[in-house]
Amino acid sequence: MELNGIKPAAGAKHAKRRVGRGIGSGIGKTAGRGHKGQKSRAGGFHKVGFEGGQMPLQRRLPKRGFKSQSLKYNAEVTLTSLEVLGAAEVDMLTLKQAGLVSHMIKVVKVIKTGELTKAVKLTGIGATAGAKAAIEAAGGSVA
């Protein structure tokens, strides 16, 4: 084998479509653009969603809703996950190291999902009313 004998695999390469090169080519005259109209002209095209001057769909529909960007930094922890964690004192750093919350999180709240039997002391972490009652019933505290 020589370098000058190397060729691509059969069917891997094909000739570029040459439009507007005469009747015999099969793509002559209008070059596959049809007759007249904006799309047949050179440089005649419109933006995405343009409906020929009719009010576009994205402007006909009402604007609705809002998603707060601060939600990225809030997280919830369940009573079940605190039970599995098994730490006597729980703070933000403990939860991050255990992988229960992301490292980006700034605010954590404990929610009442599941059961808690161990006494857990929460520091710097919020809790819902139901979760707080369950933690205190198990002998823990929320600071």
What local confidence, expressed as pLDDT, does residue 129 receive?
96
Say yes or no to pLDDT of 56 above 90: yes
What local confidence, expressed as pLDDT, does residue 102 receive?
94
Say yes or no to pLDDT of 44 above 90: no
Contacts of 50 (CB under 8 A, 6+ apart): 56
What local confidence, expressed as pLDDT, does residue 10 receive?
94
Quickly tell me which residue has 């954590």 as its tokens.
108
Per-residue pLDDT, averaged over 2-9, amounts to: 95
Write b or e for each residue in 7-23: b if 16 or more Cβ atoms lie within 10 A of its Cβ, otherwise e.
eeeeeeeeeeeeeeeee
Q: For the chain, list the domains and their CATH numbers.
A: 70-142 (3.100.10.10)
Angstrom distance (rounded) from CA 2 to CA 58 = 59
